[in-house]
Structure 1
Amino acid sequence: MSTVQAIRTTLFYLLLSFSAFVWGTLSLFIAPLLPFRARYRFVVQRWCRFAVWLAWVFVGVRYRIRGVENIPEQPCVILSKHQSTWETFFLSGYFEPLSQVLKRELLFVPFFGWALALLKPIAIDRSQPKIALKQLAKQGHERLQQGAWVLIFPEGTRIPTGQMGKFSRGGAALAVNAKLPVLPIAHNAGHCWPKNGWAKHPGVIDVVIGPLMQPEGEGPRAIAELNQRAEEWVIQTLREMGELPPQDQADVA
């Protein structure tokens, strides 16, 4: 990373941190007075869009999006590829209101974490996966009934570019039980915003919103089928983007 890019990245982090402090502090006083949708727009959507804008202006992280026509009018379960923090900002600003599955520890982050707690996130304890799965099923269903999108990263953690983590079935199970579709999303944000380190690289992130996938039937078989369908679409899309090796090379590996 060049000296100029390092300076720009440092400025980006300083402004992002300062904005989180200011926004989070204001939100603690203003958000409780607002209805849920307006609260989400004030606390999350505007700040996340601001974060994406900061990345664009200061470190040259731009984006282009395809498949907008696939977004349904009724909120559903979003299953997204996970490579960086960028897609968390982007998706939280693009879909509203959105309830995200996140680590419970994030709610303890001063100011912004406290404000985030006002937005009905599904905050799970990853050290207790069985309890977390039940919590996702119960609270996720409640959020969908309340008209909120539910964002799930089925790989469970950020996976470096060029790799693919196995999809967990929690998101597909939520969709099947709620009788709602899933909306798969693929992207390559990890090239500009790597998982490890603080460096940010200028470039264009491609975000592809896939076709709406309806559950077929009920029960474990329907859950497994829907999950596999979403995972295979993400893998195929990443291959078309050059993010994963072609099928024949993957089979050899």
Structure 2
Amino acid sequence: MGVIYGLRTVVFYLLLGLSALIWCLISLLIAPFLPFAARYRFINVYWCRFAVGLAKYIIGLDYRVTGAENIPTERCVILAKHQSTWETFFLSAYFQPLSQVLKKELLRVPFFGWAMAMLKPIAIDRDNPKQALKQLAVQGAERLEQNCWVLIFPEGTRIPVGQIGKFSRGGASLAVNAGLPVLPIAHNAGMFWPKVGWGKKPGTIEVVIGQPLYAEGEGPRAIAELNQRAFEWIAQAQYDIGALDAEYFAEIQAQSAK
């Protein structure tokens, strides 16, 4: 079975890479002439749905969403757990239009990065965190005013399944300053699509969408409190779906009780 899954993974990556190249070339020719909402659907939604479907039919990697009824009608800041590449595909298609915070180096990747640049991403320099926070505050507010969801992975990078990283306050700060909630999202994609290596496993990814979390007040204290609530909710949800180790969760509970 291991050989079969290995071959499926190879086929998956070949088709994914080939489709990305073809779709980016087509997008570079057509998308610049489309209004933003249609451009976003053309470049991102259609291909990301294809990528998620490819994972389902080639690898056997399906998904189940719980809590879709919690999604507010107003666009807001999405704070999501980051474990793999799968959730970037899924969330980019599930919420539209969406502006994602990403490292600016990605926009330099031929074809792929050029197509991404047309989707109003917030491309930050991770080596300059102060400037990145300022950029997130300014461009994030602009995207929200333009009726875009803003997707932030508050851990800043992919964290192996079973663990959870410290949350940056940038997303909570953006939400508080805009007078909007954060929408927390947990999942266990890392159990099937690990951070390290090319191997993939069949199964069903659990995606859990929480209720919108609103700040209680304004200023730094409200930002810190909202960020902590989002962190604790995601940690609890990760633990409930088996994607957070018991020792990590116990430590978080102990800190919260202080």
Regarding TM over 0.5, the answer is yes
What residue is the counterpart of 2:64 in the other structure? 64
Structure 1 residues 135 and 248, CA, compared in 2 at 3 Å: closer, same or farther? Answer: closer
Structure 1 residues 228 and 21, CA, compared in 2 at 3 Å: closer, same or farther? Answer: same
Cα distance, 1:243 vs. partner? 2.2
1:86-133 per-residue CA deviation (whole Å, 9 max, x = no partner) reads 000000010000000001011111112101101110000101110000
1:168-207, aligned counterparts within 5 Å?
A: 168-207=168-207
Cα distance, 1:81 vs. partner? 0.4
Q: Tell me, what secondary structure is at the counterpart of 1:62? A: strand
1:201-240, aligned counterparts within 5 Å?
A: 201-240=201-240
Which structure 2 segments of 5+ residues have no match?
A: none
1:1-253, aligned counterparts within 5 Å?
A: 2-246=2-246, 250-251=250-251
8 Å contact from structure 2 (residues 64, 206) kept in 1: yes
Q: Tell me, what secondary structure is at the counterpart of 1:40? A: helix
Cα distance, 1:219 vs. partner? 0.6
CA distance, structure 2, for counterparts of residue 96 and residue 248 of structure 1: 33
Cα distance, 1:246 vs. partner? 4.2
CA distance, structure 2, for counterparts of residue 76 and residue 194 of structure 1: 28
Q: Could you tell me the TM-score, scaled by structure 2's length?
A: 0.95
CA distance, structure 2, for counterparts of residue 24 and residue 133 of structure 1: 30
Tell me the percent identity.
67
Structure 1 residues 71 and 249, CA, compared in 2 at 3 Å: closer, same or farther? Answer: closer
CA distance, structure 1, for counterparts of residue 217 and residue 247 of structure 2: 29
8 Å contact from structure 2 (residues 239, 249) kept in 1: no
Query: What amino acid maps onto 2:250 in structure 1?
Result: A
Q: Could you tell me the TM-score, scaled by structure 1's length?
A: 0.97
Q: Tell me, what secondary structure is at the counterpart of 1:140? A: helix
1:161-206 per-residue CA deviation (whole Å, 9 max, x = no partner) reads 1101011100000000000000000000001100000111111100
Q: Tell me, what secondary structure is at the counterpart of 1:9? A: helix
CA distance, structure 1, for counterparts of residue 248 and residue 137 of structure 2: 37
Q: Tell me, what secondary structure is at the counterpart of 2:150? A: strand
**Pairs aligned (count):** 252
CA distance, structure 1, for counterparts of residue 88 and residue 137 of structure 2: 21
Q: Tell me, what secondary structure is at the counterpart of 2:207? A: strand
8 Å contact from structure 2 (residues 101, 151) kept in 1: yes
CA distance, structure 2, for counterparts of residue 196 and residue 247 of structure 1: 22
Structure 1 residues 130 and 172, CA, compared in 2 at 3 Å: closer, same or farther? Answer: same
Cα distance, 1:249 vs. partner? 7.2
Query: What amino acid maps onto 1:9 in structure 2?
Result: T
1:54-82 per-residue CA deviation (whole Å, 9 max, x = no partner) reads 00010111100000000011110000000
RMSD (CA atoms):
1.3
Cα distance, 1:238 vs. partner? 1.3
CA distance, structure 1, for counterparts of residue 109 and residue 10 of structure 2: 21
8 Å contact from structure 2 (residues 144, 150) kept in 1: yes
8 Å contact from structure 2 (residues 188, 242) kept in 1: no
List structure 1 runs of 4+ shifted beyond 4 angstroms. 246-249
Q: Tell me, what secondary structure is at the counterpart of 1:131? A: helix
Cα distance, 1:250 vs. partner? 2.4
